[in-house]
Amino acid sequence: MAKDKNVEQITDMDQDFGQWYTDVVTKAGLIDYSGVKGFFIVRPYAYALWENIQHVLDGKFKDLGHENVSMPLLIPESLLQKEKDHVEGFAPEVAWVTHGGSEELSERLCIRPTSETLFCDHWSNVLKSWRDLPMLYNQWCSVLRWEKTTRPFLRHREFMWQEGHTLHETQEEAEQETQQMLEVYADLCENYLAMPVVKGRKTDKEKFAGAEATYTIECMMHDRKALQSGTSHYFGDGFAKAFEIQFSNRENTLSYPHQTSWGLSTRIIGGIIMTHGDNNGLNLPPKIAPIQVIVIPVAAHKEGVLEKAAELVTRLKAAGIRVKSDTSDQSPGWKFAEYEMKGIPLRIEIGPKDIEKDQCMAASRFSGEKSPIALTELEDKVQEMLENIQAGLYKRAKDNLTNNTRSAKTLEEVRAIITEHGGFVKTMWCGSLACEMQMKEIAGVTSRCIPFEQEQVGAVCPICQKPSDTMVTWGVAY
Cβ-in-10-Å burial (0-12, 13-18, 19+) of 148 comes to: exposed
77 to 96, contacts with a second copy by CB under 8 A?
Answer: 79, 92-96
Span from 6-14, 119-127, 384-392, 419-427 in contact with a second copy (CB under 8 A): 119-127
Span from 123-131, 350-358, 363-371, 461-469 in contact with a second copy (CB under 8 A): 123-131
For a second copy, which is the closer residue by CB, 134 or 462?
A: 134
Residue 101 is a binding residue for a second copy (CB under 8 A):
yes
Nearest-10 crossing angle of helices 44-63, 267-276: 110
Strand 254-255 relative to strand 198-201, pairing: unpaired
How far, in Å, CA of 96 to CA of 102, rounded? 16
How far, in Å, CA of 296 to CA of 325, rounded? 6
Q: Long-range contacts: 309-317, Cβ < 8 Å, 24+?
A: 309/350, 312/348, 312/350, 312/360, 312/375, 312/378, 315/378, 315/379, 316/378, 316/379, 316/382
In this structure, the chain runs to a length of: 478
Q: How far is the CB of 409 from a second copy (least distance, A)?
A: 41
CA 112 to chain centre: 20
Q: Please tell me the count of residues contacting a second copy according to CB under 8 A.
A: 54
What sign does the CA torsion over 74, 76, 77, 80 have? Answer: negative
For a second copy, which is the closer residue by CB, 92 or 333?
A: 92
Task: Write the binding mask 324 to 363 for a second copy: x where contact by CB under 8 A, - elsewhere.
Answer: ----x-----------------------------------
> DSSP secondary structure string, 322-352?
-EEE--SSS-HHHHHHHHHHTT-SEEEEE-H
52 to 71, contacts with a second copy by CB under 8 A?
Answer: 67-71
Residue 318 is a binding residue for a second copy (CB under 8 A):
no
For a second copy, which is the closer residue by CB, 68 or 371?
A: 68
Q: How far is the CB of 101 from a second copy (least distance, A)?
A: 4
> Within 13 Å, how many C-alpha atoms sit on residue 338's CB side?
13
222 to 281, contacts with a second copy by CB under 8 A?
Answer: none
Span from 138-146, 227-235, 270-278, 390-398 in contact with a second copy (CB under 8 A): 138-146
Residues that bind a second copy in the complex, under the rule CB under 8 A: 32-36, 39-44, 47-48, 50-51, 67-74, 76, 79, 92-103, 109, 111, 118, 121-122, 125-126, 131, 137, 141-142, 144, 146, 157-158, 160, 328
